[in-house]
Each structure stands twice: as C-alpha cells, then as structure tokens.
C-alpha cells in the first residue's frame, strides 16, 4: 500500500492511470468486436437462392418510352438441360403506359436456373440456348466483376460502354432477410454516384436477373424479396402479384407459334379487341368483338409480331408471335 502511494503522487497521476486503463479496455473491446464480427460474417454458412419459394420484385423503366413495369420473377416446374436439372424461370409483369388506363400484362419464360453447388448460379438463356454463370459468391475484398455477370475483363474496358465498367468489392457485411442472415457484398464504381451491392441468395440491388448498373437510359431496381409460405419475410405490399394472376395470365394462347400467318388466339374469355403490330410499331391487323377462340389469317412478311388482346372484362394481355412461311 505504501509503495502504491509512492508511485501515485497526486490526482493527475490517478487521472492518467485511469485514462490508460480506458484506452486499453477500449482497444480490447474494439479488437474483440471486430474479431467476432469477422467470424460471424465470414464464418456463416452460404445461403443459396431459394428458387422453389423465392419471389423477386423489380421496378423497371426505360428512357423516354413513357412506360414502366412492375416485374415478378418466379419459378414454376423443372426441366432437364444437358443432363442437369434446372428450375423454369418466368417473368410476370404489368406494363403501365401513360396513354392507357389499365396495365398490359406479360408473362414469359426466361430459361432454366439452378444453384450449381459451388456458390454459383447457372442460367440457361432461352434466347441464346447457352448456359452461363450469372452469380458467383466466391468473392474476396479487392476482386473486380464486370457490370453484369461474371469476371471483369480489363481488355474490353470502354468509357462509352457502361456494361464493361468494373465493380470493385470494397467490403463484406451481413443483412437479415426472411429470418436468415445473408452476406452482403458492397461494391464501388468510380463512375457512379452511388455504391452497388450484391446479397447472397437474393441478388443485385440493381436488378435480379438483368442488373443495370449505369442508370442512364435504363433503370431497374430489386425493390423487394419474399418467399411463399414464409411469415418471417417483410411484406412486399402491393408489389406482390398473386398466384391467381399468374395462372390467369397463362390462359392466353397462340397456336401454332411459329406459324405461316394462320393461327388461333385462345384466352378463355370473351375478346373485345385484337391488335397485331410489327416490330416497328405499325398496326397490321385489328378486329373487334371476337369469339373466345379466334382464327386469324395474316398476309405479312416473315418476322416477329406483337399481339395485344383486350377482353370484355377490360383485361389486357400481350404476347409475341413468329411468322415463318416456308420458302
């Protein structure tokens, strides 16, 4: 006790002593907290995409088209591609056009999608008939990816091609979705005013299937993620497009497709009006007060055409059709 009193001569020494203790404790707490957080973020199990129950809701706008979309991505059924099992991915959307009261409903097949077991997601593109890796969660801080899918290729960098600009992974943390924690990969891009991020098992903030990282002419946002039958998910409110709407939309049928110009339109509901446009927006066919099943004969060149149908109940539908005459 006498020795302790000799060492601490006055009140200033006491203050210095306790200040030193606080600094040591603060450093210990910060170091311990960082260590625990590191173990939590990097040690947590990988969360794959839940393609069975997942629903992805996106807002989509394109330039001066004066139209906007609410999109819902979902899967329905399985398919075998190159000996591998994929889930069938669809996009159901409502297109709101400025001059039209009711939305135009679209529902189309995108292709196959699957978790490949290597912290990656494979997508079979129905248009190109190619399998590509669209998500890769084997990322470390400092890695670069291109503004789209896959690794960034510096040999193709171009300031005029925004899709080639690199995203640099700056940090990794964790966020909670539907009752589970998912890793969040935070990117930085010098040409943008806002950061980008990718969430494990959820997707990119700038779009689930087709992210757009350079918001100039096209803007897409992943507004909400939910899972059917999971009460721990945050409600997506009005963004949810019900299963009844999805099933209802699938009643629009064009057979055969492709065709020679003669085909049937079947919507299982009284048709008030049918309009057909070419890709330039020219009206090539119009008919009013049609029966439920309508046979149409077109004398048009080979190509892709857009069919718009309005029912007696003011439901609006559209789909694409291919005219391919034998030469």
- Alpha carbon dihedral 140, 141, 145, 150, in 10-degree steps, equals 10
Question: For 127-169, how does the pLDDT look when each residue is reduced to its tens digit (9 = 90+)?
Answer: 788 898 889 899 888 887 754 444 444 454 444 444 456 678 8
Residue 182, domain member (yes or no): yes
Whole-angstrom Cα distance, residue 28 to residue 25?
5
- pTM, rounded to two decimals: 0.63
Pair 72, 165 in one domain = yes
The pLDDT of residue 15 is 55
Point out which residues pair with 218 in neighbouring strands: 62
The number of domains in the chain is: 3
Give me the domain span that covers residue 70: 54-241
Q: Which DSSP letter does residue 125 get?
A: E
Share of the chain above pLDDT 70, in %: 65
Using DSSP bridges, classify how beta strands 180-188 and 196-199 pair: parallel, antiparallel or unpaired. Answer: antiparallel
* Pair (134, 206) in one structural domain: yes
Residue 207: pLDDT over 70: yes
Write the pLDDT tens digit of every residue in 243-260. Answer: 555 555 556 778 898 899
Q: Does 232 lie in the same domain as 170? A: yes
Let me know whether 72 and 197 are in one domain.
yes
Q: How many CB atoms lie within 10 A of CB 292?
A: 13
Instruction: Determine, yes or no, domain membership for 48.
Output: no
Record the tokens describing residue 327, joined without a space. 């030469």
Residue 32, domain member (yes or no) = yes
Is residue 320 within 8 Å of 306, Cβ to Cβ?
yes
At 19, phi and psi to the nearest 5?
-65, -45
Specify whether 71 is located in the same domain as 123.
yes
Q: How do residues 182-194 score in pLDDT, each as one tens digit? A: 999 998 755 555 6
The whole-number average pLDDT for the span 207-219 is 71
Report in angstroms the alpha-carbon separations of 140 from 28, 170, 246, 315. Answer: 27, 9, 39, 49
Which residues contact residue 104 at a Cβ distance below 8 angstroms, ignoring those fewer than 6 apart? 94, 95, 97, 308, 316, 317, 318
Task: For residue 246, tell me if it sits in a domain.
Answer: no
**pLDDT at res. 304:** 84
Does 22 share its domain with 97?
A: no
pLDDT (tens digit per residue) in 68-120: 888 889 998 899 999 999 999 998 888 877 766 777 777 888 899 999 989 99
Q: How many CB atoms lie within 10 A of CB 233?
A: 18
Query: Do 197 and 58 have their domain in common?
Result: yes
Together in a domain, 208 and 64? yes
- Which residue in 198, 240, 226 sits closest to 71, CA to CA? 240
């Amino acid at each position: 006790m006498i020795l302790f009193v000799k060492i601490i001569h006055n009140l200033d020494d006491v203050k210095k002593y306790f200040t030193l203790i606080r600094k040591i404790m603060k450093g210990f707490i910060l170091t311990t907290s960082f260590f625990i957080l590191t173990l939590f973020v990097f040690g947590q199990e990988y969360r794959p995409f839940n393609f069975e129950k997942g629903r992805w809701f996106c807002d989509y706008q394109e330039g001066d088209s004066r139209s906007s979309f609410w999109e819902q991505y979902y899967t329905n059924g399985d398919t075998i591609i190159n000996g591998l099992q994929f889930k069938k991915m669809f996009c159901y959307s409502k297109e709101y056009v400025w001059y039209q009261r009711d939305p135009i409903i679209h529902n189309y097949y995108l292709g196959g999608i699957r978790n490949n077991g290597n912290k990656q997601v494979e997508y079979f593109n129905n248009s190109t008939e190619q399998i590509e890796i669209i998500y890769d969660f084997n990322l470390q801080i400092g890695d670069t990816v291109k503004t789209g899918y896959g690794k960034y290729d510096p040999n193709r960098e171009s300031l005029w091609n925004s899709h080639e600009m690199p995203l640099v992974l700056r940090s990794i943390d964790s966020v909670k979705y539907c009752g589970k924690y998912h890793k969040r990969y935070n990117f930085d891009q010098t040409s943008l005013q806002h950061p980008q991020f990718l969430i494990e098992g959820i997707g990119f903030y700038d779009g689930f299937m087709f992210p757009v990282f350079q918001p100039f002419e096209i803007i897409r946002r992943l507004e909400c993620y939910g899972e059917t039958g999971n009460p721990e998910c945050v409600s997506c409110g009005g963004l949810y497009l019900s299963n009844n709407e999805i099933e209802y939309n699938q009643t629009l049928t064009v057979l055969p497709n492709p065709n020679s110009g003669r085909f049937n339109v079947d919507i299982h509901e009284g048709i008030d009006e049918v309009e057909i446009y070419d890709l330039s927006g020219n009206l090539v066919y119009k008919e009013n007060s049609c029966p439920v099943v309508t046979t149409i004969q077109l004398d048009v060149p080979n190509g892709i055409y857009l069919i718009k149908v309005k029912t007696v109940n003011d439901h609006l539908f559209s789909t694409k059709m291919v005219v391919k005459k034998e030469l």
